[in-house]
């Protein structure tokens, strides 16, 4: 059975969260423990051996967390457990253990695509300013260790809002075409907003960014460069120059993955460019 064989499958949407620390990223990889691999293995058992290939809203890197990830999967149309999806959610959640929490399993039209139907992804990066990091925060917060100029960071980040080529903040990805030729994946994205705010407890800074899509390591590269501005190592005007340069070597260091979380995915009519 395939995803396009509408007559023999029923499409399910699964919304869930995970702690990214134990996993080598979201995407299934040979000889690696990944979120997708663990999820698909559990679904394969639930489907009694039927295929369980998932498509996600956004692949996260090794160590990156998610509070609101979405996948779709095509279940066998004759699977008798389709009549009780709340129980499927409970059983799947129990099979996945404490690092993955299944929030919802619902039936959706065959046209729903967790990746291509999404119109916006939202990420949050947690930063800690104080010299001493509370141990309980070290799991999901980057210890910057000094006070940041968050106003300058937010002003700098406004240069990213709109549709741009984000070559300065993305790792190049090469695509192989059916005829054997290779091309670089386009790095044009639409950023909807960038905000930087202090939060509780004292010392915590939250950087939030939303876009229609993100390329590999884009949020971490943006965060690392914004921290350079926040520390006073770069002027806020540098961000517009960096974006225009379209040169990855000009950007600041990539922020560590453990401070980053996928916190929201929006579905619905596309927003105007």
Domains, the chain, ranges and CATH?
Answer: 8-107 (3.30.70.580), 119-267 (3.30.70.660)
Residues annotated as catalytic are 61
Which residue in 179, 271, 254 sits closest to 215, CA to CA?
254
Q: What is the pLDDT of residue 272?
A: 57
Q: What is the pLDDT of residue 269?
A: 76
Strand blocks (E) in 7-46: 9-18
In sequence order, the β-bridge partners of residue 123 are: 209, 262
Q: What is the pLDDT of residue 7?
A: 56
Q: What is the pLDDT of residue 179?
A: 84
Element housing 219 (H / E): helix 218-230
Q: Which residues of the chain have pLDDT under 50?
A: 1-6
pTM metric for this prediction = 0.92
Q: Is 18 annotated as a binding residue?
A: no
- Cα dihedral 12, 211, 34, 96, rounded to 10, equals -50
Question: 60 with 262: CB under 8 angstroms?
Answer: yes
- Between CA 237 and CA 252 the distance in angstroms is 14
Q: What is the pLDDT of residue 268?
A: 87
Q: What is the pLDDT of residue 3?
A: 40
Q: What is the pLDDT of residue 270?
A: 59
Question: 92 with 102: CB under 8 angstroms?
Answer: yes
């Amino acid at each position: 059975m395939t995803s396009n064989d509408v007559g023999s499958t029923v499409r399910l949407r699964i919304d869930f969260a995970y702690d990214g620390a134990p996993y080598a990223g979201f995407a299934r990889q040979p000889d690696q423990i990944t979120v997708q691999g663990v999820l698909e293995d559990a679904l394969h058992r639930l489907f009694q051996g039927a295929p369980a290939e998932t498509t996600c809203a956004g692949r996260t890197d090794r160590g990156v967390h998610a509070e609101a990830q979405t996948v779709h999967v095509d279940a066998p149309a004759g699977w008798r457990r389709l009549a009780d999806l709340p129980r499927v959610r409970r059983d799947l959640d129990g099979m996945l253990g404490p690092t993955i929490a299944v929030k919802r399993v619902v039936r959706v039209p065959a046209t729903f695509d967790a990746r291509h139907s999404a119109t916006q992804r939202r990420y949050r990066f947690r930063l800690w300013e104080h010299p001493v990091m509370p141990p309980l925060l070290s799991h999901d917060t980057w210890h910057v260790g000094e006070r940041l100029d968050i106003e300058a960071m937010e002003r700098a980040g406004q240069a990213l809002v709109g549709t741009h080529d984000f070559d300065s903040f993305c790792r190049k990805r090469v695509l192989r075409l059916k005829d054997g030729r290779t091309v670089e994946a386009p790095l044009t994205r639409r950023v909807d907003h960038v905000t930087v705010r202090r939060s509780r407890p004292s010392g915590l800074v939250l950087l939030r960014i939303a876009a229609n899509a993100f390329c590999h390591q884009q949020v971490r590269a943006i965060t690392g460069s914004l921290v350079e501005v926040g520390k006073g190592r770069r002027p806020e005007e540098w961000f517009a120059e960096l974006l225009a340069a379209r040169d990855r070597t000009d950007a600041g260091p990539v922020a560590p993955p453990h401070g980053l979380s996928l916190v929201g995915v929006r579905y619905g009519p596309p927003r105007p460019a």
